[in-house]
Structure 1
Amino acid sequence: MPTGGIKVAVSIILFLVIFFVVVISHEFGHFILAKKNGIRVVEFFVGMGPSLFSFQKGDTKYSLKLFPIGGACMFEGEDGLAAEKGEMSEKAFPNAPVWARFATIFAGPLFNFLLAYLMALILVSVCGITTSEVQAVNEGSKAEEAGLRAGDVLTKMNGKRIHLGGEVTLISQLNTKGESLTVTYRRDGQENTVVIDPAYDETTGRYYMGIVAGGYLKCNVPQTFQYAFYTMKFYAEATIQSLKMLVTGQLSRDDVSGPVGLVKVVDEVYDSAKAYGAIEVLLNMINIALLLSVNLGIMNLLPLPALDGGRLVFLLVEAIRGKPIPPEKEGMVHLAGMVALMLLMVLVFFNDITKFF
């Protein structure tokens, strides 16, 4: 096989490994809580479309499907059809207490965040972190006018507590209108607050404070647990901000990627990291998996039909009103959501094709 073909094959394999780890973590969350609450799992599958292979163990069928675009944990009676026919057993999903069902659905996104935190622990323990310490202040910049200097540690921006250099960069990049930034920094044990009006750069089309932030910290054990949480939180905030920008039109469809786009990203990262050895490749793949796991957790919590967040909304309504929404009505809502989700996946797939090929 030509060298280029080998590289692409490796990238596809790396993507599939990341995909399986992230999706299986999500579905395992549903699975383990369902078992804990006495709910029968009819099928546990990864991927979508026709099954490549499957096997039965106990009450559950385990399947691997053709297309790497998701997965599911199917519970007995969750579609409402068995309830209408009176064919549900005592282990059916609708027969479980409402909070047991809520916990079972919520466990999927929760396990994604737990996986992300575990991966952040690995990255922080091996690589350390980039702090919010100012490394340099550009001469004549707005930051210099405000009195900032190298060695200052930024602790808040616009009232938001920050811990990482990436947070400083993110807040600066999101300030697309050049609004004033209220910056709190620590110097010699004292905290000071200044207001900086970023200057516009014609070349890049962005507003800059005029600082370089990002000191290095090799974390001890307590700091590793602490900064792993900050790292996961940063990825979550970046994901939420990206969703807001997508909804408000600040991001276009070209900024959205599906499986093909993710393979391309993995390929580019692998190509950059392989020269530094297998460990560097592994750490970069863990970083991608961390981001995807956080993304999957947040996306599934959106209160949209067919997603976990949509199901949680129905369960909350049931808990408040003391009785469930009629299964056929809930089923119609989720079916419509699933159709819309499938159409979106198709559009993203073709967008990837036109974008990269």
Structure 2
Amino acid sequence: MSSLEITLKVILLFFVLVTIHEWGHFYFAKRAGILVREFAIGFGPKLFSFKKGETRFTLRFLPIGGFVRMAGEDPEMIDIQKGQTIAVKLNKSNEVTFLYLDQLNQRSDVIQGEVTNIDMERKLEVELLVGEHEAKYTIHPQAMMVTKGTETQIAPFNRQFGSKTVGQRAMSIVMGPVMNFLLAVVLFCIVVIMAGVPMNTKLDTVVADQPAQQAGLLKGDIVKSVNGTDIGANFNRLTDMIQKSPQKSMNWIVDRGGKEVPLQVTPSSEGKVGIVIGFDKRSATFGEVLTGTWDYVSKTTVGILDGFKKLVFGQVKMDDLGGPVRIVEVTGQFVQNGMTSYIYWAAIFSLYLGLFNLLPFPALDGSRLVFLGIEAVRGKPVDPSRESLVHFVGFALLMLLMVVVTYNDIVRLIKS
């Protein structure tokens, strides 16, 4: 497999997992009537962007996540103050559709004046002192503020994140991780279908000059039993028995061309015989697809949560953590092992992203849900400026951790 193909599949994995996560936020925010200003894949400088409807879709430089920027979730960056001189453009219904904040003398078909009163959230009105006369205008709910060549749509209060019920806001946040869970389930289901159901433990390879070959085992032999214990499709049982029998003779019965052949196999002192195990397979039934998918999801979830627990209690060293470089390296290894392996890794990674984002750490979705829970109990929201500060500090710490683990990845690569 070429390096270009591996690279493209790594990029595709990142793009799909982040996009499905952010789409969960985006879709349910739009359903709640929230103005979504930006749907971004990546962080940092913009590489590419286009606007569709009210939302700008952007691809950014750093491939370490993404975000959906909702109106009112963070303090608005542009505001108009009393005493400020602006220019407005009206539509045929005498509603303000554009509010110009600079280059006023270069604007055509506008009314220029000093702001005496303005409300762009609830009343949607602006009062201007035009010459010696005051004029009041209604602001269109989708009016644009224009400054430094950039258009920013106003956000009436009923389009802001904070105007929605706790349930609507919680749904727009939690559906990001939920989409990762759903994707993981679908991918695990595909893995079960592609992999099929093992019927027998078969020898795919018999290594030369190793105990297996010396005992007479051949490629294609189906292992029926060892020491009187049926093996069937349970290759873990076979490998466990071999590892526990170093330099001990074992009674194997193999099926070779429909005939049962008894053999004496003695593992080496390391508990190895020199075989590569494969399977005879059949297509999975509908019930087996469901149970197989559940097994993958449940066991993988337990493993990920156990990893989080070890991290919290200091049972994992910093050098053991991996960042973007390590993720790319591991993904490349799964890609080289074939499509089933690639999809399996995508499912694990998607499940991991969903669980990670639900952790109650500042800047993650889990932390935002905690603040909404506090609001539900108190009956009033936490001060938005304080919540924003908490998330900012959390994001800074996550970026610092990302730098550290990326450094570890680079050092590990150099040493290897």
TM-score normalized with structure 1 length: 0.71
The one-letter amino acid of 2:195's match is: C
1:264 corresponds in structure 2 to 329
Q: Distance in 2 between matches of 1:326 and 1:249?
A: 33
2:251 corresponds in structure 1 to none
Q: Distance in 1 between matches of 2:294 and 2:34?
A: 32
302-311 vs 220-229, which deviates more? 220-229
Alignment match of 1:128 (pick from 181, 196, 204): 196
Alignment match of 1:334 (pick from 379, 391, 398): 391
Please state which structure has a larger fraction of its residues in strand: 2
- Judge conservation of contact 2:334–2:345 (CA < 8 Å) in 1: no
Shift in alpha-carbon separation, 1:260–1:130, aligned structure 2, 3 A: farther
Question: 1:129 deviation in Å?
Answer: 5.3
Q: Distance in 1 between matches of 2:392 and 2:198?
A: 45
Question: 1:242 deviation in Å?
Answer: 1.4
Shift in alpha-carbon separation, 1:322–1:14, aligned structure 2, 3 A: same
2:408 corresponds in structure 1 to 351
1:298 corresponds in structure 2 to 355
Q: Distance in 1 between matches of 2:406 and 2:287?
A: 43
Structure 2 residues not aligned, in runs of 5+ = 81-119, 122-154, 202-222, 241-268, 272-276
- 1:227-285 Cα shifts (integer Å, max 9, x gaps): 212212221111111122223333323332222111211222333x2xxxxxxx22221
Please state which structure has a larger fraction of its residues in helix: 1
2:92 corresponds in structure 1 to none
Q: Distance in 1 between matches of 2:372 and 2:55?
A: 24
Question: 1:81 deviation in Å?
Answer: 4.5
Q: Distance in 2 between matches of 1:320 and 1:293?
A: 32
TM-score normalized with structure 2 length: 0.61
Which structure 2 residues correspond to residues 36-185 of structure 1 after superposition, within 5 A? 36-81=31-76, 88-89=155-156, 90-128=158-196, 150=230
Q: Distance in 2 between matches of 1:316 and 1:252?
A: 33
Question: 1:153 deviation in Å?
Answer: 11
The one-letter amino acid of 2:307's match is: S
- 1:197-238 Cα shifts (integer Å, max 9, x gaps): xxxxx989xxxxxxx9x9977420132123212212221111
Structure 1 residues not aligned, in runs of 5+ = 1-5, 155-163, 170-201, 205-211, 274-280
- Judge conservation of contact 1:15–1:262 (CA < 8 Å) in 2: no
1:226 corresponds in structure 2 to 291
- Judge conservation of contact 1:130–1:165 (CA < 8 Å) in 2: no
The one-letter amino acid of 1:69's match is: I
Q: Distance in 2 between matches of 1:236 and 1:95?
A: 35
- Judge conservation of contact 1:30–1:107 (CA < 8 Å) in 2: yes
Shift in alpha-carbon separation, 1:165–1:239, aligned structure 2, 3 A: farther
C-alpha RMSD of matched pairs (Å):
3.3
SS in 1 for 2:159: coil
Shift in alpha-carbon separation, 1:354–1:317, aligned structure 2, 3 A: same
- 1:322-353 Cα shifts (integer Å, max 9, x gaps): 11001011111111101111111111111111
SS in 1 for 2:2: helix
Q: Give the aligned length.
A: 283
2:124 corresponds in structure 1 to none
9-18 vs 102-111, which deviates more? 9-18
The one-letter amino acid of 1:128's match is: G
2:308 corresponds in structure 1 to 243
Question: 1:151 deviation in Å?
Answer: 6.4
Alignment match of 1:321 (pick from 369, 378, 382): 378
2:254 corresponds in structure 1 to none
1:181 corresponds in structure 2 to none
Larger Cα-atom Rg: 2
1:24 matched to 2:92? The reply is no
Which structure 2 residues correspond to residues 186-201 of structure 1 after superposition, within 5 A? none
Shift in alpha-carbon separation, 1:9–1:80, aligned structure 2, 3 A: same
1:193 corresponds in structure 2 to none
